[in-house]
Structure 1
Amino acid sequence: MRISVRQKRIAATGAVLALMALAFVALDHLTNEMRYADVQGALHALTPVRLLLALGFTAASYLALTFYDHIALRVIGRPLPWRTAALASFTNYTLSHNLGFGLLTGGSARYRIYVAAGLDGPDVARVIALAGAMFWIGVASVGGCALVLGAAPIDLGWLTLSVGSMHAVGACLIAAIAGGAFAVARRTRPLSVFGATIPLPGVRALGAQFATSLADLLCASAALFVLIPGAQPDAFPLFMLAWALGIVVALVSHVPGGVGVFEATVLAVLPTSDRTGVFAALIAYRLIYYLLPLALGIVLLAWHEVTRNRRLALIFGGIRSVVADILPLLLGCGTFLAGAMLLLSGALPPVGWRIDALGDVLPLGLIEASHVAASMAGTALMLIAPGLYRRLDGASVLARVLLLAGALFSLGKGIDYEEATVCLAVAALLQVGRAKFNRRTALTAQPIGAGWIIAIAMAAMLAGWAGLFAYRHVPYSDALWWRFALGAQAPRYLRAMLGCAVLLLGFAAWRMLAPARALASPLPEAEEWQTIRAILSRADRTEAMLALTGDKRFLISSQKDALLMYQVEGATWVVMGDPIGTPEAWEELLWRIRDMSHRQQGRLLLYEASSAVLDIAIGLGLQIVKYGEEAVIDLPDFTLDTPDLRSVRKSERAAARAGASFRIVPAAAVPVVMDQLEAISDEWLASRDGREKGFSLGFFDRTYVQRFDVALVMFDGRPVAFANLWLTTGKEEASVDLMRHSDDAPRGTMDFLFANLLLWAREQGYQRFTLGMVPLSGIEDRRLAPAWARAAALVFRHGERFYGFRGLRAYKDKFAPRWRPRYLAGPQGVALLQSLRDVSRLIGRHPVAARVPPPVKPITERAA
């Protein structure tokens, strides 16, 4: 039985949730003898010197992290300034440290920054592979050294390692790493993995990466070590082993931030009589090493966006637009963490003197309501964080309201001014960056991915366990639920958690029981064509005329100033070309189609997209693949009297001498010659044993053809060739769609047609003329190119018998055009091949007759 992608996702999500639950059970067992008051006391006992040392080691660790990418970029031959690599590394690691790698896949900050700096997708993948490999090698190295230097056995309960066994395992691990490093240093050829090539570092680069890894890991672990009370230097090797195992288990489990998993592993491995002090150190470490850098990154980016600070511009210089694009992502994460903070705070007892002072000012009922309301506001903030990640304006407004309410309720439940300050700060940052949340899609229509579900579940589990830990000395009874008193903290926790659980379960039930949406938007009705025609009349690219073939569906922006064309084939949602209309509305449309396809478990493919949408496609999490090139001729300076157009000039003059003439037939007069055009088309198709295609190009249909002006080649008083014209209203671009000729047309007829059409378009004032696209053109077959590029180049060179790739390129090259790249943006891996198969079926299917009503107004500029 074949397992679907959806079933795999559900199974993976379930596995991670199960691991999270197991981690909290283990953590509860390891902290069974602790009391909340003792942990509080241990936290307050941390001296300023220890805290400053932890901050210093944290800063050194994050500084070392930036060199993973900096060195890897040099290894692959694409060096970038250190500040660019530093920004990419810092942003990526702060997000992954706090939320895990799975939550933000597809909108990777690192990917956006490097692509904006000039790298392509395979280059970014190589950087990630090299940096990740060195991180894991470093973890294995420090683990091996810790095992070799260990002087006491390790007792995990179910497994005991003697000192001799530890030394043997550590020596084998170090020997394996040394052997691998020696093999890598001697290998001169790149490593090939699944058809992709990864350059290997030389001796110097390998040494630099290894030193970077050790510096990072030693500083990161030292930031925790200095927080542990009574820690002695001779205990550092065993501590390093515990820390390394905690990192490994946290990363392998895919639990966001390793919350609960890391702490449980360190407590289990590290033998100490003062587990309370170690647990307090782990809590402080979580705040210093994980949350503080994320907060710093959010503040720096927001400050840069508001002030355009020159010093910060030195760090962010050259990629300011990408920095602005990352800000909503970080604010979404910050909002999620603020919500988790409110939820966790509601599970823990307030400071004693504060609740007493509050009781003298506010009535008990208001304090009780504030406690529950603060926890539910935190839960709601976590639920709308995905909307901030998708830059929805409604999510931004609602988040600001909830954060202000959360700040007020935090003060009302226990004068928690620290939490109120955090909520107000995040609300202020959202207010500052409100212009970045410009998508007007309905918030309720947004899907919540598996990563966000796992993160929300993790925060809820953490809050629930924290309350059980804090109130484990309170015996449970049904009467607790109905006890209302100023000092009744456990009942308050129970009621807050019940409210949050009801909110989460209600939200889940609402999403699951909501009626399924239609598979896709239906073909437009007659009255909708008025809006579509208005948008098409403002188009500056001729490919917009594909909207009139009648075989596409449409999404129209909320402001009715842009649209995109698409169709669904199998599981693939194919978007034809770029959106049409106001560029500011493109992102809204593409995110809507992304969400629609995701909701139906479909695959999204942007077909023949231009470079103008690549940044949005990267944000959508799509793989970018070059598909071909489009031939464009700039008309103001065009002339046939150049050496490059000698062959065209010769063919044009030969056809003219044979008696060919050129003529433009306005759309209103096309029905007069329609029978002759259809005869030419039928003859052309029969001579090529072909059939009409659709979707990405027009087809001969009377209703469709008579919508446009038609260029004719006349011979002996009758048409022998024609092309219907695509012309933009503002005269930015001209092009042709159908180009067909009869068998008895004079030699050089098509050159004659194009040459005269180019001259006519220049005289009419058009700025450019596009000759259309050549698939697989311009894809270079280099030694280090990815497998798909080498395969595409091979097909382009040797696939002439199946499709005239090279012949088509050679014909268009006769007109000396400039070539613009066109791309595919779709899913990763095999899914991209499946999408291309669906596109092939969609284009090759026999098209239906054009099902659009006659336009009320002309869409294109008519010939005089």
Structure 2
Amino acid sequence: MASSSSHEKKAQDDEATGGWRPFLRRNQRHLAAIATLVMIALFGAAIFQLTAEVQYDDVVSALAATSWRSVAAAVLFTGVSFLALTFYDVGALDYVKRKLPYADVALTAACAYAVGNTAGFGPLSGGAIRYRSYSRLGLEPEEIARVIAFVTLAFGLGLAAVACLSLLAVGEYVAPLTGIGAFWLRTIALVVLAGLLVTLVAARSGHEVSIGRLTLRLPDSATSSRQFLITAVDLAASATVLYVLLPAGTIGWPAFLAIYCVAVGLGVLSHVPAGLGVFETVIVATLGHAADVDAVLGALVLYRVIYHVLPLLIAIVVIVGMEVRQLAGHPVASSLRRAGGRMAPLLFATLALVLALMLVLSSVTPTPDENLAFLANYVPLPIVEGAHFLASLLGLVLVIVARGLALRLDGAWWGSVVIAAAALLLSLVKAVALGEAGMLAFFLVALLASRRLFIRPASLFGQALTPPWLTALGVLCFGAFVVLLFVYRDVEYSHELWWQFEFSAEAPRGLRALLGVTIGASAVAIWSLMRPATSAIAPASDEDMERAIAIVEAQDMSDANLVRMGDKSIMFSADGRAFIMYGRWARSWIALFDPVGPLDAWPDLVWQFIETARANGCRPVFYQVSPRGLAHYADAGLRAFRLGELAEVDLTRFDMKGGKWATLRHQVSRGQRDGLEFIVVEPADVSAILPELAAVSDAWLDHHSAREKSFSLGAFDPEYLVTQPVAILKHEGRIVAFANVLVTAAREEGSVDLMRFSPDAPRGAMDFLFARLMEHLKAQGYRRFNLGMAPLSGMSSRRTAPVWDRAGRTFYEHGERFYNFKGLRAFKSKFHPHWQPRYLVASGGLNPILALMDATFLIGGGLKGVIKK
């Protein structure tokens, strides 16, 4: 039996290995966050230089001068754009041959784009929304991954095509703005369009297209044309949102469309959240010579509010409206309400980030003179100064709380309610900011109406911020710094500014607010990055084992008996009705199977395991889980990756009659002729035959040059074997094969773990043993037999399948020298089972690959055990 201490020592040795490549692998997420912040800083410096002649008051005046007719037109075109966006998902679902009600698809797509456009980073992205929603609507993880890939590719190709067509029409107008000659702009556009056209023609009937070593199956011409039309409508409408907000006559619409497409494309490629700063820099750089920069900046601010924030608010209104059951009596509304409940936490988290940015930026920008005059008459200066400073800190705290909202923490809900109420009061006290107060009031009411969605009893203060959330803190600080420099660029800096306390001293007030936010963000980041991990996991105690076995006996999951091995730690649910068995290797906490216990106890237990693993500085992993638990893992922000398929035989229909059972009947008849005798030994009598079983096991291990495994497989441990029945085969009075039988008191499912046979056992002995065991269990009233998993089986071979599936399929086809993948599936197929997918669940990026490696080492007992099989 492998020990946890040896695993942890090996993990520590691996972590101690030097070299820059291991360093990059361990810290890639933090390095990516740093790169993002550097890029934001560079674009912030660029836009600061581009607006050197612009005054803050001029931008405010330009905003105020925007006509309500322009605002109404922008809102209308925003609606057109989002309507077009819903058809990306419709087309993607059609491509993967899945049909869902349009109302569910439209709500999912609209929420995905509202979140993705506004937040635009990993934990709060369109992909996370789609995964949570579509997993609830019955799509498999591979199908959701293909939907996300289709939507991303369709938008990218459509964006390139629309931009190039625009450049062909108006190249001479765009050239002066970009610094590239019209001829070269058109040449580049023609090359790109030619490549797209060739690809489209080659794939006109859904044919595969090879580009170097990469092979893709692109959509047929009808699908491609439809998606191009959708993209054209979307981009034209979204570009028009900004165009109608610009001063009349700034630039022609076709030329602006080309510039807009380039700005959007650069924003996407930069990987900066929502393209913040990148998009603005491109627009200002290209339009700054054709219009007043202050008017362009004012239009950009309104564009962000109308096209990014407004859809988010509308999505929350719709979901909250369903949450208060205004329409719950209608079947369609009921379906939408269930889907909306899965997406609401991410919507609230995104709005929390928007409000956090609003609170911080309002603290570094001036208060209107008339508001200051009003405050001076009724509010003492110390209270105004304190409210100003505290409001900025509440904005920082709201970023931290936003992560808890995305994860549905009850503590985050309470924290958000308190912060929103306090910030609402402070916004009135510091600046009589009615718009700011209105947004906070909306947030507060929406939270109160959605209380039941935030039920996870986890500690908000125990959460470590991940690199994307630390990046959000960095964006907040950088953004506030750039805005502060822009607003007070004419104020000469001096140390005395920090100590000026007057109603008219706006710059000192902004400096102090920025300092408080920066110090607070730095403290949070240092704590998240440097806090020590808690102690190593403890093995299960005897009392824990007794409790877990009692739960197993009441369930119908026979594989859960692997907890009897005692080589795994156990985590119980708060009410003690369910448990997770798990182990650790390197930085992975790996849970074996779904939680064991009633289904209603799964969500909280899954969440408890995930947060405990993260609190220990490790990645949470679930190994060999079933489809029925995927929605719970998706709710916690994890992704599913297919591991293989589990073979399950319906014992109620198991009968070796008919043509398809001819081969198995032949093996059974042959075993009878060879004199094989099948016996099921009850647990109380297993001790008497342990020496014979040990001899068979040792011979089997020696013959296969193998060693004992652990974790997901049992080992030959006498204390383990005597807990369950053992099926044996005798030949000439001697035991030549055996398998320990895993069953529970529910008498629903049976399976086997150890399967060992002597090298001199008659040929086909294991076929005989399995057939007789299934007959025996059927006679005992069991309904199904679990034949175990066939690794990498069932991986999609489609060229549009996710990379994970294609890599697994390749290894399945060509990896026989490492593992008998095809032979194992062929053996199980003799019993004509029903194949069910099994998954590895982890967070995105490289985590699934690292998690699978750690699980493999945990099962094999290290690299040596894996190599020796």
Q: 1:543 to 1:376 in 2, by over 3 A?
A: same
Q: Which residue of 1 aligns with 2:245?
A: 227
- Once residues 145 and 214 of structure 2 are traced to their aligned partners in structure 1, the CA distance between those partners, rounded to angstroms, is 8
Q: Say whether residues 1:40 and 2:64 are aligned partners.
A: no
- Once residues 486 and 311 of structure 1 are traced to their aligned partners in structure 2, the CA distance between those partners, rounded to angstroms, is 55
- Once residues 298 and 34 of structure 1 are traced to their aligned partners in structure 2, the CA distance between those partners, rounded to angstroms, is 36
**1:220-259 pair list within 5 angstroms:** 220-229=238-247, 231-232=248-249, 235-259=252-276
Contact 1:106 1:619 in 2 (8 A): no
Q: Post-superposition shift, 1:243?
A: 3.4
Contact 2:613 2:619 in 1 (8 A): yes
**1:612-623 pair list within 5 angstroms:** 612-618=628-634
Contact 1:551 1:847 in 2 (8 A): no
- Once residues 690 and 249 of structure 1 are traced to their aligned partners in structure 2, the CA distance between those partners, rounded to angstroms, is 54
Q: Post-superposition shift, 1:663?
A: 4.5
Q: Which residue of 2 aligns with 1:337?
A: 354
Q: Which AA in structure 1 matches 2:408? A: R
Q: Which residue of 2 aligns with 1:99?
A: 119
Q: Say whether residues 1:124 and 2:124 are aligned partners.
A: no
Q: 1:368 to 1:728 in 2, by over 3 A?
A: same
Which of 58, 66, 74 is matched with 1:54 structurally?
74
- Once residues 157 and 483 of structure 2 are traced to their aligned partners in structure 1, the CA distance between those partners, rounded to angstroms, is 36
Q: Which residue of 1 aligns with 2:398?
A: 381
Q: Which residue of 2 aligns with 1:852?
A: none
Q: Which residue of 1 aligns with 2:186?
A: 171
- CA RMSD after TM alignment: 3.8
Q: Which residue of 1 aligns with 2:15?
A: none
Q: Which residue of 1 aligns with 2:649?
A: 633
Contact 1:732 1:767 in 2 (8 A): yes
Which of 509, 520, 527 is matched with 1:510 structurally?
527
Q: Say whether residues 1:180 and 2:195 are aligned partners.
A: yes
Q: 1:541 to 1:32 in 2, by over 3 A?
A: same
Contact 1:607 1:823 in 2 (8 A): yes
Give unpaired runs (5+ residues) of structure 2.
1-19, 865-869
**1:454-465 pair list within 5 angstroms:** 454-465=471-482
Contact 1:145 1:237 in 2 (8 A): no
Moved more, 620-629 or 124-133: 620-629
Q: 1:282 to 1:775 in 2, by over 3 A?
A: closer
Q: Post-superposition shift, 1:541?
A: 0.6
Q: Which residue of 1 aligns with 2:208?
A: 190
- Once residues 409 and 254 of structure 1 are traced to their aligned partners in structure 2, the CA distance between those partners, rounded to angstroms, is 34
**1:467-616 pair list within 5 angstroms:** 467-518=484-535, 520-570=536-586, 572-591=588-607, 594=610, 605-616=621-632
Q: 1:458 to 1:797 in 2, by over 3 A?
A: closer
- Once residues 480 and 179 of structure 1 are traced to their aligned partners in structure 2, the CA distance between those partners, rounded to angstroms, is 60
Contact 1:684 1:740 in 2 (8 A): yes
Which of 693, 697, 702 is matched with 1:677 structurally?
693
Contact 2:592 2:624 in 1 (8 A): yes
Q: Say whether residues 1:726 and 2:749 are aligned partners.
A: no
Q: Which AA in structure 2 matches 1:124? A: V
Q: Deviations over 1:11-58 (max 9, x none)?
A: 332232122223333333333433333332222222211111111122
Q: Which residue of 2 aligns with 1:89?
A: 109
Contact 2:573 2:579 in 1 (8 A): yes
- Once residues 420 and 319 of structure 1 are traced to their aligned partners in structure 2, the CA distance between those partners, rounded to angstroms, is 30
Q: Post-superposition shift, 1:501?
A: 2.5
Q: 1:643 to 1:150 in 2, by over 3 A?
A: closer
Q: 1:607 to 1:423 in 2, by over 3 A?
A: same
Contact 2:579 2:595 in 1 (8 A): yes
Give unpaired runs (5+ residues) of structure 1.
849-864
Q: Post-superposition shift, 1:650?
A: 6.2
- Once residues 192 and 759 of structure 2 are traced to their aligned partners in structure 1, the CA distance between those partners, rounded to angstroms, is 71
Which of 200, 206, 209 is matched with 2:227 structurally?
209
Q: Which AA in structure 2 matches 1:168? A: F
Moved more, 106-115 or 300-309: 106-115
- Once residues 330 and 161 of structure 2 are traced to their aligned partners in structure 1, the CA distance between those partners, rounded to angstroms, is 32
Q: Which AA in structure 1 matches 2:79? A: A
Q: Which AA in structure 1 matches 2:454? A: F
- Once residues 241 and 847 of structure 1 are traced to their aligned partners in structure 2, the CA distance between those partners, rounded to angstroms, is 55
Contact 2:165 2:189 in 1 (8 A): no
Contact 2:40 2:475 in 1 (8 A): yes
Contact 1:800 1:806 in 2 (8 A): yes
Aligned-pair identity in percent equals 35
Contact 2:92 2:147 in 1 (8 A): no
Q: Deviations over 1:836-856 (max 9, x none)?
A: 4544443333999xxxxxxxx
Which of 300, 307, 315 is matched with 2:325 structurally?
307
- Once residues 314 and 742 of structure 2 are traced to their aligned partners in structure 1, the CA distance between those partners, rounded to angstroms, is 53
Aligned residues: 837
Contact 1:304 1:312 in 2 (8 A): no
Q: Which residue of 1 aligns with 2:385?
A: 368
Contact 2:428 2:437 in 1 (8 A): yes
- Once residues 502 and 780 of structure 1 are traced to their aligned partners in structure 2, the CA distance between those partners, rounded to angstroms, is 50
Q: Which AA in structure 1 matches 2:56? A: Y
Which of 408, 411, 415 is matched with 1:398 structurally?
415
Q: Which residue of 2 aligns with 1:824?
A: 840
Q: Post-superposition shift, 1:288?
A: 0.8
- Once residues 410 and 198 of structure 2 are traced to their aligned partners in structure 1, the CA distance between those partners, rounded to angstroms, is 54
Q: Which residue of 2 aligns with 1:768?
A: 784
Q: Say whether residues 1:276 and 2:297 are aligned partners.
A: no
Q: Say whether residues 1:423 and 2:446 are aligned partners.
A: no
Q: Secondary structure at the match of 2:594?
A: coil
Q: Which AA in structure 1 matches 2:482? A: W
- Once residues 715 and 150 of structure 1 are traced to their aligned partners in structure 2, the CA distance between those partners, rounded to angstroms, is 90
**1:8-47 pair list within 5 angstroms:** 8-47=28-67
Contact 2:360 2:391 in 1 (8 A): yes
Q: 1:576 to 1:456 in 2, by over 3 A?
A: same
Moved more, 402-411 or 794-803: 794-803
- Once residues 694 and 803 of structure 1 are traced to their aligned partners in structure 2, the CA distance between those partners, rounded to angstroms, is 17
Q: Which residue of 1 aligns with 2:307?
A: 289
Q: Deviations over 1:746-780 (max 9, x none)?
A: 77755554445434434444333222223344446
Q: Post-superposition shift, 1:275?
A: 2.4
Q: Post-superposition shift, 1:127?
A: 0.4
Q: Post-superposition shift, 1:292?
A: 0.7
Q: Post-superposition shift, 1:117?
A: 5.4
Contact 2:169 2:254 in 1 (8 A): yes
Q: Which AA in structure 2 matches 1:691? A: R
Q: Post-superposition shift, 1:96?
A: 2.4
Contact 1:692 1:846 in 2 (8 A): no
Contact 2:652 2:783 in 1 (8 A): yes
Q: Secondary structure at the match of 2:786?
A: strand
- Once residues 273 and 405 of structure 1 are traced to their aligned partners in structure 2, the CA distance between those partners, rounded to angstroms, is 41
